[in-house]
Amino acid sequence: MTMPLMKPRRKNPVLRTRQMNLPPWARGRVALGMTAAAAEGRFELQVCQECSAVQYPPRDACHRCLSPKLKWRAQSGEGTLLGQTTLHHSNDLFFRERLPWRLGLVQLAAGPSVLVHLHGEVGAAPAPVRVGARLDRAGQAVLIGFPGVGGEHMADDKMLREMTSDPKFRKVLVTDGKTAVGQAIVQALVKAGADIVWVGHAEPWKKLPGIEDITALPQVTLVPLDLTNERSVTELAGEVGGKVDIVVNNAEVHRAFGIAARRGTDVARAEMDINYFGLLRLAQAFGPALRGRSADGVTHAAAWVNLLSIYALANYPPHGTFSASKAAAYSLAQCLRAEMRPAGIRVINLFPGPIDDEWNQNLPPPKVAPSAIGSALVKALREGIEDVYPGDVAQEWLERWRDNPKVLERELAAGGS
C-alpha cells in the first residue's frame, strides 16, 4: 500500500537548489512512435500487418516474418510479472539520486516480454500487472507496471510522481480568473490538492461573476496580471516566479468572424496580443525560474499548461482570426516545449472544441463545459500527458485532421464543422 504523500517542509532558502539530471533520453526514430502515443495517454506497440505479430522493442521489420509493414496499435497492457529486482546502485546520475528503484520483467498477454518500472503497490512475482506508457522527465516514453487494483494513494508513489506533474501540494499560477473556464480550472486544481493557486486578474477593480466563489477558497489569492502589459507580467514574476511550480496560461481573447466580415485589424491585433504575445511575455518572465527549480525536492517545478483550441490545427473560417492566433500560439508552445525539456518541465497543450461560453453561443451542441476542461487539465497533470483534446468535437476534428488535413480544410471552407 502506498503511503500518502505528506506536505513537505518549507525549503531552507540558504540551501542551493539542485540542478536537474535527466534520465537517458536517446531514442531512434522508430521508437518515437511509442513516445508520440504516450504523449496523448496511450500505450501502443507495433503490430505486423502481414502476420499480426506484436513487436517489442520497436523495430523496422517484423521479428517473425520480416515484413516492414508495421503499424502502431493500442494495447490493453494486461500481463504477468515474471520477476523483479531493486536497483541500489546506478552509474546514471538521474537514477543514482533516486535509488532504490524497482524494475520488473512482464509477459504481456499480447505476446512480448517487456522491462518496466514497477509501481510500489505491485506485489512479488508472479503477479498480475497492467503495463502503461508514460513520459519520463526527458519527455520520452517509458513503460510502468501498475497493480491490477490500486489503492487510494497510488498517485503518491515516489517513482510515479517522477513521471507526472501532480498538482498535489504544488503552487500554481492561473493567468485569468475572470472567465468560467478559468474559474473551473481553479476549482479543479484546489480539489486536486494544490497548496496555493495564484489567480491573475487584469482588472481587479471589476466585480465579475464567479470571482467571489473562487476567492472564498483558502488556497486562492488574486494577483494583478495583464498579459498585454510586459511590466505587469515582469512584476508578478519578480514577486512569485521563484515559487510557482505549475503555470496555467488560460488567458485568451476570442472573437468571431473571419477576414472580410470585419474592417481593420484592431480585433485581430487584440487576439494576437493575448493569445500569442501574451504567451511569449509569460514564457520569457516565468520560464527561467521554472527551469531553475525543476529538481527542487518533492514539489519541484513541474509543468506549463497552455489553453489552445482545436482551431489551431485547421482554421475555422467563421472564427478565422481567432484560429490564426491559436495556430501561432501552438507553434510557440512547441518552441517552449523544446526549451523546457532539458530541465524536465512538461509543456501540456489543451485543444478543446467549442466551449460553452458567450463566443460560441450560436454554435450548436456538442460544446465543452468549463468544468470538463478543468477535469481534463488535472488528469493530464496527473498522468503526464502532453496533448489533450477535450470534447467530442475536438476528438472528431483530430481524427479527420490526421486522416487528411487537406480534406478537413476543404470541408471547413465549405461550411462544415
Q: How confident is the model at residue 400 (pLDDT cuts 50, 70, 90)?
A: very high
Question: What's the pLDDT at 44?
Answer: 97
Q: CATH assignment of 171-413, given 3.40.50.720, 3.30.930.10, 2.40.30.10, 1.10.3720.10? A: 3.40.50.720
Give residue-wise pLDDT tens across range 224-263. 999 999 999 999 999 999 999 999 999 999 988 889 888 8
Q: Above 70 in pLDDT, residue 1?
A: no
Sign of CA dihedral 172, 173, 177, 181: negative
**Higher-confidence residue: 104 or 414?**
104
Contact 172, 246 (CB under 8 A): yes
The pLDDT tens digits of the residues spanning 283-336 come to: 999 999 999 998 887 788 899 999 999 999 999 999 999 999 999 999 999 999
Place of cell 479527420: 400
pLDDT surpassing 80 at residue 61: yes
What is the distance between the alpha carbons of residues 252 and 278, in angstroms, rounded to a whole number?
9
**Does the pLDDT of residue 3 top 70, yes or no?**
no
Which pLDDT score, from 0 to 100, does residue 14 have?
A: 66
pLDDT in tens, 340-372: 999 999 999 999 999 998 777 777 889 999 999
Quote the pLDDT of residue 304.
Answer: 98
**Phi, psi for 144 (deg, rounded to 5):** -125, 135
What is the rounded CA–CA span in Å between residue 76 and residue 108?
9
Percentages of the chain per state (helix, strand, coil), in multiples of 5: 35, 20, 45
Report pLDDT for 13. 66
Please report the pLDDT score of residue 279 as a whole number.
98
Domain edges within the chain: 32-163, 171-413
pLDDT tens readout for residues 89-130 = 999 888 898 899 999 999 999 999 999 999 999 999 899 999
Mean pLDDT over each residue of the chain, to the nearest integer: 92
Q: Which helix (H) or strand (E) holds 118?
A: strand 113-118
